[in-house]
Structure formats: structure tokens, C-alpha cells
């Protein structure tokens, strides 16, 4: 279970507060207007920012002393998910060892995860030689290989067209289901929440509300959300 315990972060005149729990294996969307603090919330969980007070707990363990790379977290960013100077296989392999010193078993695992996302045989290419959708799949192959229990996505695949994007999101859902990962996805689009997430967290003006059932939330939105949805 992911628990955000009385989290409090102030940056200039902006304050973010959160106090909530997310069940293991849940799929949660995080929606709200830009600048409300969605990405900051993800940064706090991933370890890129530290709260002024409060704790981030995973299964009861305080994550504060753990650097980003060692947290039980896999990340998909908006862009720059791949190193352009490394091959597809190297980019995926980084999920196993950050120094890329891979033994035979590890290399085999890289090939398997590439196969799983439908990129068999493309391991030797550079990201520039792939389509946008394929690049997204490479990032997912790495997520699969890292097998961390918490998957954070920050407005993923924003550069893809709508059809490709929903296809990628389906794949993300499948992979999360396979590995039993808890999924937290930031989006500004309520349709993503409806399609992907059984629960939704809203962030307005730095206030993070606990997750609610997506369907009920969207069918009967509170005033702030109603204003945002238009």
C-alpha cells in the first residue's frame, strides 16, 4: 500500500498538501488543471523532491532516505524516456543494471521483454530509427524488466496521436495487470481516467484529494472539477 502521510511542500507562494492511501494493485488517475501540482505529487513519490513535512510510505517503509533509482518505482516521463545515443537493447538493459554490465541471462531477459512489447529484432536500433509508438514500447519494455511494484506515468505518450496513444495506454494497463503493479497516471484528460483507472485523485490549487471511484466522480463531479471539465 502506498501511503502519503500529511505531506506538505511549499515552493514560493505555492503549497501542496496530501494525505491519502492507495491500495496495492490499484489503477489510479491523477487529474487537475496544469500548475495544480500533479507532477509535483509524482516527484515526491519518485524522490525527485523532498517534502517539507510528512512521509511517503510504501508497505509501511519510509522512502525518505532512499534515492530515486532505488525506490520501488518505475517511471514513464512525458518525453525523453530513452537515451538517444544508446541502442534499444541498451536502453532496456539499463532497467536491470545502471552500468549496463549485463550477463547472458540478463541479455536474454532484455530480448524477452522486447518480444513482449512487440519489438522483437529491433534491439540494435537507435531510438531515432523508431516511430513514436515504438519508442513508447521500448520504455514499457524497460518498465517490464525493472518489475518495480509502483508504476508512475506523467502525462505519458503526450506526443502521440489519439489512436496510438490509447493503444499504448491499453498496453500499459495489460503490463500493470501482468506484474500486479500499482499504477498512478497523471493526465489532464478525463477520458484517460475513464478508460484506464478505477480510481481517480483530483488535484486543485495544491490540494490533493484522496482517490474516489472514477465513474461516480465523473458522473457527479464536485464544483471545482465541474469547472475544470467544463
Considering only 18-26, 82-90, 176-184, 215-223, which stretch makes contact with another protein by CB under 8 A?
82-90
Residue 103 bridge partners (DSSP) = none
- Which of 22, 28, 63, 75 touches another protein (CB under 8 A)? 75
Q: Applying CB under 8 A, does 226 fall inside the site for another protein?
A: no
Considering only 80-88, 106-114, 171-179, 183-191, which stretch makes contact with another protein by CB under 8 A?
80-88
Which CB atom, from 90 or from 166, has the smaller least distance to another protein? Answer: 90
d(CA 108, CA 129): 23
Considering only 79-87, 156-164, 170-178, 217-225, which stretch makes contact with another protein by CB under 8 A?
79-87
Beta strands in 127-173 (DSSP E): 150-154
Least Å distance, CB 125 to another protein, is 13
Q: Applying CB under 8 A, does 14 fall inside the site for another protein?
A: no
- Which of 68, 205, 210, 227 touches another protein (CB under 8 A)? 68
Which CB atom, from 14 or from 215, has the smaller least distance to another protein? Answer: 14
Q: Applying CB under 8 A, does 13 fall inside the site for another protein?
A: no
- Which of 34, 60, 69, 104 touches another protein (CB under 8 A)? 69
Where b means 16+ CB within 10 Å and e means fewer, 12-42 reads eeeebbbeeebeeebbbbbbbbeebbbbbbb
Least Å distance, CB 161 to another protein, is 23
d(CA 155, CA 60): 28
d(CA 175, CA 212): 23
Least Å distance, CB 187 to another protein, is 19
Residue 204 bridge partners (DSSP) = 207
Cα distances from 71 to residues 90, 108, 131, 149, 176, in angstroms, run 21, 25, 30, 10, 17
- Of 214, 212, 138, 152, the closest CA to residue 183 belongs to 152
Count residues near another protein (CB under 8 A): 31
Estimate to the nearest angstrom the gap between the alpha carbon of 81 and the chain centroid: 12
Question: Which residues form the interface with another protein (CB under 8 A)?
Answer: 9, 11, 46-52, 67-70, 73-75, 77, 80-81, 83-86, 90, 94-95, 98-100, 126, 128
Amino acid at each position: 500500500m502506498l501511503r502519503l502521510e500529511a505531506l506538505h511542500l511549499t515552493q514560493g507562494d505555492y503549497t501542496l498538501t496530501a494525505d491519502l492511501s492507495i491500495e496495492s494493485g490499484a489503477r489510479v488517475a491523477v487529474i487537475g488543471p496544469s500548475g495544480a501540482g500533479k507532477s509535483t505529487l509524482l516527484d515526491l513519490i519518485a524522490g525527485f523532491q523532498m517534502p517539507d513535512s510528512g512521509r511517503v510510505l510504501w508497505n509501511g517503509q519510509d522512502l525518505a532516505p532512499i534515492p530515486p533509482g532505488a525506490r520501488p518505482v518505475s517511471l514513464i516521463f512525458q518525453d525523453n524516456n530513452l537515451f538517444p545515443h544508446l541502442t534499444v537493447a541498451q536502453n532496456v538493459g539499463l532497467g536491470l543494471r545502471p552500468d549496463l554490465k549485463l550477463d547472458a541471462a540478463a541479455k536474454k531477459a532484455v530480448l524477452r521483454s522486447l518480444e513482449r512489447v512487440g519489438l522483437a529484432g529491433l534491439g540494435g536500433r537507435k531510438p531515432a530509427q523508431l516511430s513514436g509508438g515504438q519508442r513508447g514500447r521500448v520504455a514499457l519494455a524497460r518498465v517490464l524488466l525493472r518489475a518495480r511494484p509502483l508504476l508512475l506515468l506523467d502525462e505519458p505518450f503526450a506526443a502521440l496521436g489519439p489512436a496510438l496513444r490509447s493503444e499504448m495506454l491499453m498496453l500499459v494497463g495489460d503490463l500493470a495487470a501482468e506484474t500486479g503493479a500499482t499504477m498512478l497516471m497523471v493526465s489532464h484528460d478525463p477520458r484517460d481516467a475513464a478508460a484506464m483507472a478505477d480510481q481517480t485523485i483530483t488535484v486543485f490549487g495544491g490540494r490533493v484529494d484522496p482517490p474516489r471511484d472514477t465513474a461516480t466522480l465523473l458522473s457527479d463531479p464536485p464544483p471545482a472539477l465541474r469547472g475544470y471539465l467544463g
